[in-house]
Amino acid sequence: MQETIESLKEDFAIIDEWEDRYRYVIELGRAMPPLAEAERIPANKVQGCASQVWIAAHQEKNGSEPRLSFTGDSDALIVKGLIAIIFRLFSGKAASEILAIDAGAILDELGLREHLTPQRSNGVASMVTRIKSDAQAALSSTH
């Protein structure tokens, strides 16, 4: 996980202007694979986001606990980019690892939270809560 965080920090450090960083975030979102129409269901819709946001969790049993990967989408370009960053932090990790990640601290390190509107910050928090809830459910189903 540390490698992913470091690569994100390096990417952000290279870009001086916040306007350019926003463009980079949007590009990360554009590079995400499209979300299947079958996953655009109410159960995958994230509550607490001003934009439309869908996050679908996919479990893979490999070893003693499930690993989760995520797919998602938003109708807002900047939000889709934020989803891409969040997925870089969480996707492919074991459920217990996901629960241990302090996404707020990482977003602070990237300087992202201070440059988001309060509404977007709340939306990011809702996405992280959703992902951690999916990880907790995956862990609970294995016990």
Give tens-digit pLDDT for 10-28: 888 898 888 898 999 999 9
The pLDDT-based confidence of 63 (bands split at 50, 70, 90) is confident
Exposure letters 46-80 (e unless 16+ CB within 10 A, then b):
beebebebbbbbebeeeeebbbbebbbbbebbbbb
Tokens encoding 135: 């990880």
Q: What are phi and psi of 51, to 5 degrees?
A: -85, 165
Residue 33 has pLDDT above 80, yes or no: yes
The mean pLDDT value for 75-82 works out to 94
What global pTM score does this model have? 0.91
29 catalytic? Reply is no
- List 8, 35, 46, 49, catalytic entry: 49
Mean pLDDT score of the chain, rounded to an integer? 90
Report the share of the chain in percent with pLDDT over 70: 97
Judged against a pLDDT cut of 80, whether residue 41 lies above it is answered with: yes
| Domains of the chain in sequence order | 2-142 (3.90.1010.10)
Q: What is the pLDDT of residue 3?
A: 65
Q: Please determine, for residue 1, whether its predicted confidence score (pLDDT) is greater than 60.
A: no
